[in-house]
């Protein structure tokens, strides 16, 4: 089983998504967050499940797409680090 690590930034990303959606529907916000977390949980068993991020073309930087969100993560020797969760209509945070 692969160890998945979240940083405080990614937790804040998920909370921001939940807060934004909950303005219209708390129920839908909970479902979206549940879907995103379930996608990341998949990486414990299948760390290479995501595709290579097209903008970066690096085997170790992958993403899971759960429309309308992208979950970008890095595959390391000792686990997976979730890098960012963001709306797919935006550019990956940190890229020029």
Using CA of residue 81, residue 83, residue 88, residue 92, what is the dihedral sign? negative
Number of domains in the chain: 1
pLDDT, tens digit, for every residue of 49-92?
Answer: 999 999 999 999 999 999 999 999 999 999 999 999 999 988 88
| Tokens describing residue 62 | 């992958």
| Tokens describing residue 73 | 């993560």
Q: What is the CATH number of the domain that holds 62?
A: 3.30.2310.20
Note whether residue 9 is domain-resident. Answer: yes
Note whether residue 10 is domain-resident. Answer: yes
Note whether residue 59 is domain-resident. Answer: yes
Question: d(Cα 68, Cα 70) in Å, to the nearest integer?
Answer: 7
Please, which residues bridge with residue 74 across strands? 61, 81
pLDDT, tens digit, for every residue of 8-43?
Answer: 888 999 999 999 999 999 999 999 999 999 999 999
pLDDT reading at 47 higher than 70: yes
Res 95: pLDDT: 58
Res 96: pLDDT: 45
């Amino acid at each position: 089983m692969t160890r998945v690590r979240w940083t405080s930034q990614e937790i804040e990303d998920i909370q921001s998504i939940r807060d934004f959606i909950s303005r219209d529907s708390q129920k839908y916000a909970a479902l979206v967050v549940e879907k995103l977390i379930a996608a990341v949980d998949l990486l414990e068993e299948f760390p290479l499940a995501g595709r290579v991020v097209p903008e970066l073309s690096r085997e170790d930087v992958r993403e899971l797409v759960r429309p309308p969100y992208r979950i970008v993560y890095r595959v390391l020797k000792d686990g997976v680090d979730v890098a960012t969760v963001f709306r797919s209509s935006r550019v990956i945070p940190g890229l020029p």
